[in-house]
Amino acid sequence: MLRAGLGRRSRCCGGLWRSPCPEAAGGCARALSAASAFPSPGSGGGARSGGAPPAGASNVKPLDGVKILDLTRVLAGPFATMNLGDLGAEVIKVERPGAGDDTRAWGPPFVGTESVYFLSVNRNKKSIAINMKDSKGVKLIKELAAASDVFVENFVPGKLAEMGLGYEDIKKIAPHIVYCSITGYGQTGPVVQRGGYDSIAAAVSGLMHITGHEDGEPVRPGVAMTDLATGLYTYGAVMAGLLQRYKTGKGLHIDCNLLSTQVACLTHVAANYLNCKIEPKRWGTAHGSIVPYQAFKTKDGYIVVGAGNDHQFVTVCKILNLPEVSKDSRYKTNTLRVQNRKELIDILSTRFSEKATIEWLQLFEGSGVPYGPINNMQQVFSDPQLNTCMPAEYVQTFLNIRIVLAFLTCNKLAV
């Protein structure tokens, strides 16, 4: 593993991180640091000792023994560290005394006094409240960092450095640390001091410009996709950082931000503009370069059908009993179908409106054409396929949010 001598995850409401006073908490952190050994540069890493599970144990997770100090709040950072926790890392979430993470107040709905929003992205974590404006709090953060493998934060650039907790500060006491910063706009540039929220980044990056009905207003996606994508980039970058440290014995500073993440996720839309100067438009559920590839209204709902090649288009026409359409010279290739989009979509839409969604689903089954209904949440979590492809305990987390509480250790120590 990546670091020798890391202790096993302590149990809820007890263990290494629970302490009745700041001094004792600091002492615990020092004891852990002293017991932890990091492979020296050039050693290529080293085997874990002490709390490591037996070789071949079925319950070993990829990040067992890795400790993450999580100073993030709201969504992108917590989503990243939650996923790292799912892989076995021990995540220590640092929150403000009293209020805690902003999302603890985001509701309703609430489960008891806890925001469901907060619970949905803070699975597999322990929580400690530290006043980082106090010198004792800064000292405690440094002690925890020295005992950790990963340090994740999402403060405005320069803010932690003012407190003595920037990368260069932490590097001095923990040269092994994989330090990851998540910001709205990166570490340099004219607007780096601006706060970064998902909707703002989605607007600035162009995502809202291309989202919505063809003749409608810009629309925010139904979930915070810019934040979530940044969380996934962060998750992958931290994993790569741990691998890099394993190879070199040295830590590093990772820079993730909402703006560059979302622009990177524009993929072909950005490429179309950069290479062909094509300014994109909103397409609703349709696709600018593939036809048909969109939602169609049925008698009682909607079905989404995508014909990604000419063979699939012929199959769609066969299922809809429209053989003459597949033979029409205007629709022979995808390029022609894109050029004659309106006429073709009108024909297909009329036919789809003649049957109920379930009838079309039965007709498309086994055809090889990608298709599916537009489900509400009740239908999503009743889908037998979901229960097959997603781990049962993960689904249960959403079906009964109270189970998340079992993964949270909310021992808050105000310093």
Q: Which residue has the higher pLDDT, 115 or 17?
A: 115
Q: What is the pLDDT of residue 387?
A: 79
Residue 16 banded pLDDT, cuts 50, 70, 90:
very low
Whole-angstrom distance, CA of residue 338 vs CA of residue 336? 5
Query: Annotated active-site positions, please?
Result: 227
- Omega within 30 of 0 (cis) for the link into 280: no
Q: What is the pLDDT of residue 203?
A: 97
Length of the chain: 415
Whole-angstrom distance, CA of residue 380 vs CA of residue 377? 5
pLDDT of 192 > 90? The answer is no
Q: What is the pLDDT of residue 404?
A: 39
Q: What is the pLDDT of residue 395?
A: 59
Question: Which backbone phi and psi does 126 adopt, to 5 degrees?
Answer: -110, 155
Do 84 and 122 form a contact (C-beta atoms < 8 A)? no
Say which residues have a Cβ less than 8 Å from residue 196's Cβ, sequence separation at least 6.
183, 184, 185, 257, 258, 259
Lowest mean pLDDT among 41-45, 71-75, 132-136, 170-174: 41-45
Average pLDDT over residues 286-304: 97
Residue 56 banded pLDDT, cuts 50, 70, 90:
low
pLDDT of 27 > 80? The answer is no
Per-residue model confidence as pLDDT tens digits over 337-390:
999 999 999 999 999 999 999 999 999 999 999 999 999 999 998 888 887 887
Whole-angstrom distance, CA of residue 413 vs CA of residue 415? 6
pLDDT of 220 > 50? The answer is yes
Q: What is the pLDDT of residue 250?
A: 95
Do 207 and 281 form a contact (C-beta atoms < 8 A)? no
Residue 272's alpha-carbon distances to 167, 275, 276, 306, 326, in angstroms, are 38, 6, 5, 21, 29
Q: What is the pLDDT of residue 314?
A: 98
Do 26 and 143 form a contact (C-beta atoms < 8 A)? yes
The residue whose two tokens read 């699939």 is 312
Which of 148, 207, 222, 156 has its CA nearest to residue 183? 156
Residue 55 banded pLDDT, cuts 50, 70, 90:
low
Mean pLDDT (the chain) is: 84
Residue 20 banded pLDDT, cuts 50, 70, 90:
very low
Q: Which residue has the higher pLDDT, 152 or 54?
A: 152
Residue 79 banded pLDDT, cuts 50, 70, 90:
very high
Residue 249's alpha-carbon distances to 95, 244, 246, 278, 279, in angstroms, are 30, 8, 6, 46, 46
Average pLDDT over residues 199-216: 96
Q: What is the pLDDT of residue 68?
A: 98
Question: How remote is the C-alpha of 409 from its chain's centroid?
Answer: 22
CA angle 267, 271, 273 (to 5 degrees): 125
Q: What is the pLDDT of residue 196?
A: 86
Average pLDDT over residues 209-219: 95
